[in-house]
Structure 1
Amino acid sequence: MSQETKTMNVFERYLTLWVALCMVVGVALGKLFPGLTSSLRGLEFGEGSQINVPIAVLIWLMIYPMMLKIDFGSIARVSRKPRGLLITMVVNWLVKPFSMAVIGWLFFKKVFLPLIGPELASQYIAGVIILAAAPCTAMVFVWSYLSDGDPAYTLVQVSVNDLIMLVAFAPIVKLLVSGATDLQVPFKVLLYSVLVFVVIPLAAGSLTRWWFIRSKGPEWFAEKFVAFFHPITVLALLATLVLIFAFQAENITTRWFHVLLIAVPLIIQVYFNSSLTYGLMKLFRVQYPVAAPGALIGASNFFELAVATAIALYGPGSGAALATVVGVLVEVPVMLSVCRFCLATRHWFPIAPVVALERTPQLR
């Protein structure tokens, strides 16, 4: 590990605690003020659209700042080191969602079925599939930093994932949820979710990035403009979780054990995908600063998109939405353990320095 001490800020380090506190506050609001909760749940973009207005606005406030960090210009330089990116793409899009569908089906339709029943089993499977079909966008920059990853290459991996997500997310979710459950998956709703929560903020972020870097310079953009949104993103995340848990209050108070059950296949999935990616990186002799973030980006999830999609498809009080939120609850401690493993095994990889990709200001 480099001599620089790698640390997260207070919010990132205790994200699991904040999520747990949001659960307590949200459930309390849902139980103590059912009328208010019902009114908020009923605010939709058109009757029956399932797109909840307050949650949609809050999620947009989270996703737009993430998209500001995406540097699509760096993709042109990836031909200098293609192996790491190819491995990441294969695992993220050809392995991860399909393995999650199998693991989710095994646990919810077989192992846990007597405890949860067939209806919730289908909802939970849908939720974990939606979560797995959205590779991480934001927190991977934190995981890359903590594991001494190459920040420029991490930007490339995230940028390519976002481009693939534009065309692959909706059909993969439709295919796997329809195949593993008896739930209906309206494809138009999926496409609408991608448009609202990926295409529009991605376009807005790219245009904003281009304009301000051109007019103000990359340092100002990273240190002033992007940094301005960090507290807004944090508050939007916490408010979103409070609302979701308020909408889920009845499910959580009557089925709190289900949260623990949902966590089991999610944790298995994280370790399976990170181990597979890391092992392939070692097999193909990819250098450590590329291998570590490659393993981490596939194990982590773009939970903001997953939550929004689950709500759009099945509603904010659905089991699918609860499953996506449980992913946030377990992610930080599990991903920190993956970071520690990567750092402890970095000697497995070639020690030549990474110099192929031009570095850009690290936007965190």
Structure 2
Amino acid sequence: MTAAPAPGVAGRLSFLDRYLAVWILVAMAAGLGLGRLVPGLGDALAKVTVTGVSLPIALGLLAMMYPVLAKVRYDRLDTVTRDRRLLIPSLVLNWLIGPAVMSALAWLFLPDLPEYRTGLIIVGLARCIAMVIIWNDLACGDREAAAVLVALNSVFQVLAFGLLGWFYLDLLPRWLGLGDGQGLDVSVWHIALNVLVFLGIPLVAGFLTRRLGERARGRTWYETKLIPRIGPYALYGLLFTIVVLFALQGDAITSRPVDVARIALPLLVYFAVLWTGSMALGRAVGLDHPRATTLAFTAAGNNFELAIAVAIATFGATSGQALAGVVGPLIEVPVLIALVHVALAARRYFPRAATEPSPDGTDAARA
């Protein structure tokens, strides 16, 4: 999978890569249309679930993540784990700043809509472990760094999600005199299972594919022959996931446009502020462009699969909390694909490593 839309590189992109933003918008529209026009489609898609997530979505997520994780050079992970300039800001952004920013925006923009406000806060607590892999790869981020940060987010998600839910939804509102607060009935084991399925399975599969492939045919064959063959399936999985996700909730989204708009506004502010601030922080602490990009996308992305599952399990499938969770990817997908292009354009402001494509496209596009 190639991702470098600079003029000199665009000619070498595949048709799918070159017009990815268009395909994503088409997939969203197709999903919304199917959900609206086909009676009972949402119920049928939601009937069978994996850890509270529709089985078709689960399959799409696994198909989406596996090729990217098969690209990771696992023998280089130690260079990431030693980089405190990356790890410490990532943990702070994800588990201190991110939830606080989303909570503040939810109260600021939705003071009179407690269900939607709660749903947004849940989205902010669910740090991304899935689709961020795609955005990072498209933006030429550091794949090894993404693997490490996603793994860290997974561990912290299991340990901290329930605690942060209690703090932001129950304790903090009572402290500030904003009401009695709401509890969040979520099992640690449910979150752990979610992490195991949506990160563990593709991670193990990707690791074994590289290990066995390199052992059998060597790294050159693996990266020049095998990876180009399986790489496009990440985007196929992404588009399939988007179609199914929006088909599930097409009627809810299209029947309440004003509510969707009110939920969308704080989400837009959240993604813009957190991504831009994280990218600037990465530059300020001396990270190169690939790792600053990874820092930004892992900080701004959210695990909407977990957020939707928790909202439905706790408040019901037709609740305002669940609708807020569904609007999350409706806004996240086009915004973060736009930020992929911003990240690529920002390469000129970072020192360039010898192996990194130049902004004017004079170097080879990244595979």
Into which bin does the TM-score normalised by the smaller protein fall?
0.7 to 0.9
- Displaced runs of 4 or more, over 6 A: 302-305, 351-355
**Is 1:130 paired with 2:109?**
no
SS of 2:282's equivalent?
helix
Residue number in structure 2 paired with 1:99: 97
Alignment size in residue pairs: 329
- 1:331-350 matches, within 5 Å, as 331-343=336-348, 345-346=349-350
**How far apart in 1 are the matches of 2:294 and 2:100?**
20
Give TM-score scaled by structure 1 length.
Answer: 0.79
Q: Rate the CA distance shift 1:352–1:211 in 2: closer, same or farther, 3 A.
A: closer
**Is 1:119 paired with 2:120?**
no
**Is 1:55 paired with 2:57?**
yes
Residue number in structure 1 paired with 2:161: 173
**How far apart in 1 are the matches of 2:240 and 2:342?**
27
Note the C-alpha offset of 1:191: 0.2
**How far apart in 1 are the matches of 2:109 and 2:270?**
11
Amino acid at match of 2:135: M
Amino acid at match of 2:62: W
Q: Rate the CA distance shift 1:325–1:142 in 2: closer, same or farther, 3 A.
A: same
**How far apart in 2 are the matches of 1:59 and 1:52?**
11
**How far apart in 1 are the matches of 2:209 and 2:129?**
27
Residue number in structure 2 paired with 1:186: 187
Q: Rate the CA distance shift 1:129–1:248 in 2: closer, same or farther, 3 A.
A: same
Note the C-alpha offset of 1:143: 2.1
Say which of 291, 294, 297 aligns to 1:297. Answer: 294
**How far apart in 1 are the matches of 2:219 and 2:68?**
16
Answer yes or no: is the 8 Å Cα contact 1:92–1:298 preserved in 2. yes
Give TM-score scaled by structure 2 length.
Answer: 0.78
**How far apart in 2 are the matches of 1:353 and 1:44?**
46
SS of 1:274's equivalent?
helix
Identity %: 21
Note the C-alpha offset of 1:17: 3.0
Answer yes or no: is the 8 Å Cα contact 2:70–2:206 preserved in 1. yes
Answer yes or no: is the 8 Å Cα contact 2:304–2:329 preserved in 1. yes
Note the C-alpha offset of 1:13: 4.8
Residue number in structure 2 paired with 1:220: 221
Note the C-alpha offset of 1:131: 4.1
- 1:110-259 matches, within 5 Å, as 110-114=108-112, 117-131=113-127, 136-144=132-140, 154-181=142-169, 182=182, 183-253=184-254, 254-255=256-257, 256-257=260-261, 258-259=263-264
**Is 1:263 paired with 2:268?**
yes
Answer yes or no: is the 8 Å Cα contact 2:93–2:299 preserved in 1. no
Q: Deviations over 1:14-64 (max 9, x none)?
A: 44433322222111111111312211111224xxx5232111111111111
Say which of 4, 8, 16 aligns to 1:5. Answer: 8
Answer yes or no: is the 8 Å Cα contact 1:65–1:205 preserved in 2. yes
Residue number in structure 2 paired with 1:37: 42
Q: Deviations over 1:292-350 (max 9, x none)?
A: 1121111114999823323432348722243144222201222322332341x23xx5x
**How far apart in 1 are the matches of 2:165 and 2:292?**
25
Q: Which segment drifts farther, 257-266 or 241-250?
A: 257-266
**How far apart in 2 are the matches of 1:246 and 1:352?**
42
Q: Which segment drifts farther, 259-268 or 213-222?
A: 259-268
Q: Rate the CA distance shift 1:164–1:240 in 2: closer, same or farther, 3 A.
A: same
Note the C-alpha offset of 1:234: 1.8
Stretches of structure 1 lacking an aligned partner (at least 5 in a row): 146-153, 282-289, 356-361
Amino acid at match of 1:93: L
Q: Rate the CA distance shift 1:335–1:237 in 2: closer, same or farther, 3 A.
A: closer
Q: Rate the CA distance shift 1:33–1:302 in 2: closer, same or farther, 3 A.
A: farther
Q: Rate the CA distance shift 1:143–1:276 in 2: closer, same or farther, 3 A.
A: same
Answer yes or no: is the 8 Å Cα contact 1:130–1:309 preserved in 2. yes
Residue number in structure 1 paired with 2:176: none
Q: Which segment drifts farther, 230-239 or 291-300?
A: 230-239
**How far apart in 2 are the matches of 1:77 and 1:29?**
46
Q: Rate the CA distance shift 1:133–1:107 in 2: closer, same or farther, 3 A.
A: farther
**How far apart in 1 are the matches of 2:205 and 2:300?**
20
Q: Rate the CA distance shift 1:177–1:277 in 2: closer, same or farther, 3 A.
A: farther
Note the C-alpha offset of 1:353: 6.5
Answer yes or no: is the 8 Å Cα contact 1:134–1:301 preserved in 2. no
Amino acid at match of 2:89: V
**How far apart in 2 are the matches of 1:245 and 1:59?**
14
Answer yes or no: is the 8 Å Cα contact 2:146–2:298 preserved in 1. no
Q: Rate the CA distance shift 1:30–1:23 in 2: closer, same or farther, 3 A.
A: same
Residue number in structure 1 paired with 2:32: 27
Note the C-alpha offset of 1:270: 0.7
SS of 1:202's equivalent?
helix
Note the C-alpha offset of 1:9: 4.6
**How far apart in 2 are the matches of 1:22 and 1:190?**
28
Q: Deviations over 1:210-234 (max 9, x none)?
A: 0011101222222332222233222
Note the C-alpha offset of 1:12: 4.1
Note the C-alpha offset of 1:10: 4.5
Amino acid at match of 1:160: V
**Is 1:308 paired with 2:305?**
yes
SS of 1:144's equivalent?
coil
Q: Rate the CA distance shift 1:304–1:227 in 2: closer, same or farther, 3 A.
A: farther
